[in-house]
């Protein structure tokens, strides 16, 4: 594949396999070795670059998705003239330098979006970039120093996340044309999917490359759906909010519409890995990957969400609760894709929540998760839905707890009994005592917040 894109303000051409990672293209094809490989799974941030104005892990971006794109690496900054790099040096925030290129680019992405971030915002923006040498306090001070010098006001991103893909910027060669498909719209994508039902769909690829690293064979055919405009965006229509299957969690987290109607979903979206992961991971991918530890399914269960599945034959709408047929399995037909998710708009009296617990405080895979929805009428529970995730192949409703709560006022005695019932409803395969205990406590926490 011959690939053309803009790299550090210069147009470049590279010869690459379509599924080569952007990281490999930069280092091996073009010789830009400032971008480092650390974990190869999007966990460490050493390979961070800015793609089309967004921070991404280049180890998780396929070369075919960079066509016509705009990439900024550490070599694209102004060296000693760059105030951010100078701040890193003068604050003693550089030692071995392995992680620092990605750290600097993560800081630049933050300052471009928020020229005057708080200390907490800096910590969050850099949470996906690990450093074993320097000490984060010096790194945080370096970012604060650059912000104080007005660095962010001079570095606003030039392009949007997906607005500059050019089909003229890629040339498939030889057998690639029969194995790699780059549709320009949803209609064409559905035609291809109907013709090749064994197709692997590529969108954010945040699970795709880690799975390959773990030994999953490379697919025979792939189709890129990352840039299909019909599959992204958030809108209100006829009593629903509709979120395109290709909408990223960073787009969901920053949406005023989502914050207004589904604050728990906006909050959940900030927990999907680090910023670079949120800029790539999509709600559709989180659903159809059917991981038992996926964060969005439990909340979408209790919100009564509907999965909109589309093929050339038409549209099929099913409750998200019916999307799964077993562990890592869905009911999607071979010619269908998840076009969008529709969520009924809740009443203003309702409350919703999402909690997760893992092996660490941030950027963690759920060991357990809990989502809930509740409505009170005259201080009594008129409707309640509770769903637990990460403890079974698919999320489960806490039906006994729901039944107990309906019609009751949330007194201390009722809340404590609900806690006990909830803890007995879950049947985790491992860490049983811990997961049961924490499930009960999270239910108790939500009910106390709901009555306040």
Does the residue 292 lie in any domain? yes
Query: Residue 391 belongs to a domain with what CATH number?
Result: 3.30.390.50
Same domain, 173 and 90: no
Where does the pLDDT of residue 70 fall: very low under 50, low under 70, confident under 90, or very high at 90 and above? very high
| CA–CA dist 278, 306 (Å, integer) | 22
Point out the domain boundary residue: 283, 309, 344: 344
Average pLDDT of the segment spanning 188-210: 96
Does the residue 113 lie in any domain? yes
Q: Is 80 exposed, middle or buried (0-12, 13-18, 19+ CB in 10 A)?
A: exposed
Q: Angle at CA 401, nearest 5°, toward 395 and 404?
A: 150
Does the residue 6 lie in any domain? no
Q: What is the pLDDT of residue 148?
A: 97
Average pLDDT of the segment spanning 169-195: 95
Same domain, 316 and 376: no
Residues 6+ apart with CB under 8 A from 412: none
Same domain, 250 and 330: yes
Query: Is 81 a residue whose pLDDT tops 80?
Result: yes
Residue whose entry in the numeric block shows the structure tokens 């089909």: 167
Q: Angle at CA 50, nearest 5°, toward 19 and 71?
A: 65
Query: Is 65 a residue whose pLDDT tops 90?
Result: yes
Same domain, 355 and 381: yes
Query: Is 406 a residue whose pLDDT tops 70?
Result: yes
| CA–CA dist 3, 26 (Å, integer) | 12
Same domain, 244 and 333: yes
| CA–CA dist 69, 155 (Å, integer) | 18
Same domain, 219 and 284: no
Same domain, 238 and 338: yes
Does the residue 70 lie in any domain? no
3-state per-residue secondary structure call for the chain: CEEEEEECCEEEEEECCCCCEHHHHHHHHCCCCCCCCCCCCCCCCCCEEEECCEEEEHHHCEHHHHCCCEEECHHHCCHHHCHHHHHHHHCCCCCCCCCHHHHHHHHHHHHHHCCCCCHHHHHHHCCCCCCCCCCHHHHHHHHHHHHHCCCHHHCCCCCCCCCCCCHHHEECCHHHHHCEECCCCHHHHHHHHHHCCCCEEECCCCCHHHHHHCCCCCCCCEEECCCCHHHCCEEEECCEEEEECCCEHHHHHCCHHHHHHCHHHHHHHCCCCCHHHHCCCEHHHHHHCCCCCCCHHHHHHHCCCEEEEEECCEEEEEEHHHCEEECCEECCCCCCEEEEEEEECCCCCCEEEEEEECCCCCCCCCCEEEEEEEEEECCEEEEEEEEEECCCCCCEECHHHHHHHCCCECCHHHHHHHHHHHHHHCCCCCCHHHHHHHHHHHHHHHHHHHHC
Where does the pLDDT of residue 170 fall: very low under 50, low under 70, confident under 90, or very high at 90 and above? very high
Does the residue 141 lie in any domain? yes
Same domain, 206 and 187: yes
Average pLDDT of the segment spanning 115-137: 93
Structural domain harbouring 141: 79-154
Same domain, 236 and 340: yes
Q: How many domains does the chain have?
A: 4
347-395 pLDDT, tens digit each: 999 999 999 997 665 677 888 999 999 999 999 999 999 999 999 999 9
Point out the domain boundary residue: 121, 154, 187: 154
Query: Is 45 a residue whose pLDDT tops 70?
Result: yes
Q: What is the pLDDT of residue 137?
A: 95
Q: What is the pLDDT of residue 452?
A: 85
Does the residue 72 lie in any domain? no
Q: What is the pLDDT of residue 356?
A: 93
Average pLDDT, the chain: 94
Q: What is the pLDDT of residue 256?
A: 98
Average pLDDT of the segment spanning 20-31: 97
Point out the domain boundary residue: 154, 183, 209: 154
Query: Is 128 a residue whose pLDDT tops 70?
Result: yes
Does the residue 111 lie in any domain? yes
Query: Residue 150 belongs to a domain with what CATH number?
Result: 1.10.150.120
Does the residue 301 lie in any domain? yes
Q: Measuring CA to CA, which residue among 358, 338, 354 is closest to residue 446?
A: 354
Same domain, 325 and 382: no
Same domain, 360 and 418: yes
Same domain, 355 and 339: no
Query: Is 160 a residue whose pLDDT tops 70?
Result: no
**Which of 20-29, 160-169, 401-410 has the least mean pLDDT?**
160-169
Average pLDDT of the segment spanning 271-287: 96
Query: Is 164 a residue whose pLDDT tops 80?
Result: no
């Amino acid at each position: 594949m011959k690939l053309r894109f803009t790299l550090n303000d210069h147009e470049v051409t590279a010869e690459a396999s379509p599924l080569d990672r952007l990281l490999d293209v930069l280092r091996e094809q073009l010789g830009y070795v400032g971008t480092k490989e650390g974990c190869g799974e999007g966990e460490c941030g050493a390979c961070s670059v800015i793609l089309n104005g967004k921070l991404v892990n280049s180890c998780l971006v396929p070369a075919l998705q960079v066509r016509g794109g705009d990439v900024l690496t550490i070599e694209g900054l102004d060296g000693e003239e760059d105030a951010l790099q100078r701040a890193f040096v003068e604050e003693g925030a550089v030692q071995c330098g392995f992680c620092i290129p990605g750290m600097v680019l993560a800081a630049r992405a933050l300052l471009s979006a928020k020229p005057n971030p708080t200390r907490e915002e800096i910590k969050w923006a850099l949470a996906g970039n690990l450093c074993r040498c320097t000490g984060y306090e010096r790194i945080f001070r370096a970012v604060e120093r650059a912000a104080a010098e007005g660095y962010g006001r001079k570095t606003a991103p030039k392009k949007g996340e997906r607005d500059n893909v050019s089909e003229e910027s890629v040339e498939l060669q030889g057998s690639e044309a029969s194995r790699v498909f780059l549709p320009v719209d949803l209609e064409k994508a559905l035609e291809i999917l109907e013709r090749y039902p064994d197709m692997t769909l590529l969108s954010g690829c945040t699970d795709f490359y880690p799975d390959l690293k773990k030994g999953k064979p490379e697919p025979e055919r792939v189709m890129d759906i990352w840039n299909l405009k019909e599959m992204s965006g958030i809108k209100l229509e006829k009593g629903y909010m509709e979120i395109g299957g290709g909408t990223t969690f960073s787009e969901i987290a920053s949406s005023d519409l989502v914050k207004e109607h589904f604050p728990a979903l906006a909050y959940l979206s900030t927990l999907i890995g680090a910023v670079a992961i949120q800029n790539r991971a999509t709600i559709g991918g989180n659903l159809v990957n059917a991981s038992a530890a996926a964060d969005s399914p439990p909340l979408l269960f209790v919100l009564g969400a509907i999965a909109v599945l589309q093929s050339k034959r038409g549209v099929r709408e099913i409750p998200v609760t019916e999307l799964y047929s077993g562990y890592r399995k869905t009911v999607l037909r071979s010619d269908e894709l998840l076009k969008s998710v529709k969520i009924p708009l809740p009443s203003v009296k309702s409350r919703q929540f999402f909690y997760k617990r893992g092996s660490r405080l941030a950027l963690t895979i759920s060991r357990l998760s809990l989502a809930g929805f509740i409505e009170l009428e005259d201080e009594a529970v008129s409707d309640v839905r509770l769903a637990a995730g990460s403890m079974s192949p698919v999320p489960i409703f806490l039906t006994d707890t729901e039944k107990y709560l309906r019609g009751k006022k949330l007194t201390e005695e009722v809340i404590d009994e609900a806690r006990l019932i909830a803890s007995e409803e879950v049947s985790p395969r491992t860490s049983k005592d811990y997961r049961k205990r924490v499930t009960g406590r999270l239910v108790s926490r939500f009910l106390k917040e709901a009555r306040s």
